[in-house]
Structure 1
């Protein structure tokens, strides 16, 4: 059975994502549930670090943090590598703390891969960009600044207008 495809309509263009339901079922189901609930609609890419990642999925315009569901278990040990164009779950320093936030890898980020339990728990890759990597790269080029306590915040909001399973 084919993996689900999600389309992000953003203020910079469309991005299509294959969601790895086969590799990381808990993480995939969590992301797809947020998509189906419309949670991501109207959120912003709140962290942009050229040569590293673009991150979204947790803030409305004005850096207003959205309320999330409970955190999920980290499946990074079963996930593919954090390669350019893959999507991973963002989390705190606690391995099993991912909720709604995700990032798209702009380069191969081997340092984010699973290396073992504890500090090496890694970041779980749950999908990959199949179309729209040029849009991802365009987002990576926006001017950023500080919105204390946050750094690397786009000066002009980059909005994830809608996320839909196609």
Structure 2
């Protein structure tokens, strides 16, 4: 029994199984985000941002985005989430990924991109939606940008409602624009291939 269990655990944790779960052959996988304000579906662009898409899908497939909050909302700018639970606890992160901001995708209304620190290669699990055309977040010859890796295909109205919620400062997170009433990402699901 013990050998069988060990073999099963090794199989389930193998890169091959994980790759199958991430739909490696699908250049445009879709993810449904079931939030406390409604559902949003995003189509990811693996052809332009393969590292970023695989990173995001790894968190999705493992269930790491389930029961997280959108912790930073700036009207006419961004809706950011993926890094905190409803008690404002920082969630575990995988290794940072290479910044794919030079992929030709732009931070325009309805796109999804990776949040990061000042260092360009620090993105891990936090992502944001652009709720305006934020082309100033795109790369330029003198600086790295923020890597866009997909766009909203359903639920842009939900995202726009989220962008309107009242926010305020939060000492625990040290952000000025935290929703006063939590917006929960209840579940993120990789949708079946068409």
Task: Tell me the TM-score range normalised by the shorter chain.
Answer: over 0.9
Unaligned runs of 5+ in 2: 1-25
Equivalent residues in 2 for 1:12-161 (5 A)?
12-116=37-141, 120-148=143-171, 149-161=174-186
- Contact 2:101 2:148 (C-alpha < 8 Å) held by counterparts: yes
Task: Please say if residues 27 and 45 of structure 2, whose CA atoms lie closer than 8 Å, have aligned partners that are also in contact.
Answer: no
TM-score normalised to structure 1 length = 0.96
1:44: Cα distance to partner?
0.3
Mean Cα displacement is larger for which, 138-147 or 128-137?
138-147
CA contact (8 A) 1:77 1:116 kept: no
Q: Distance in 1 between matches of 2:91 and 2:107?
A: 26
1:6 maps to what in 2? 31
Alpha-carbon distance in structure 2 between the residues aligned to 1:38 and 1:85: 23
CA distance in 1, matches of 2:92, 2:175: 18
Between the two proteins, the alignment pairs up a number of residues equal to: 164
Q: For the residues of structure 2 that align with 1:144 and 1:70, how far apart are their CA atoms?
A: 30
> Could you say what the CA RMSD is over the residues aligned between the two structures, in angstroms?
1.0
Q: Where has structure 1 moved over 2 Å in runs of 4 or more? A: none
Unaligned runs of 5+ in 1: none
Which of the two has higher C-alpha Rg? Answer: 2
Deviations 1:76-112 (A, max 9, x none): 0114010100000000000000000000000110110
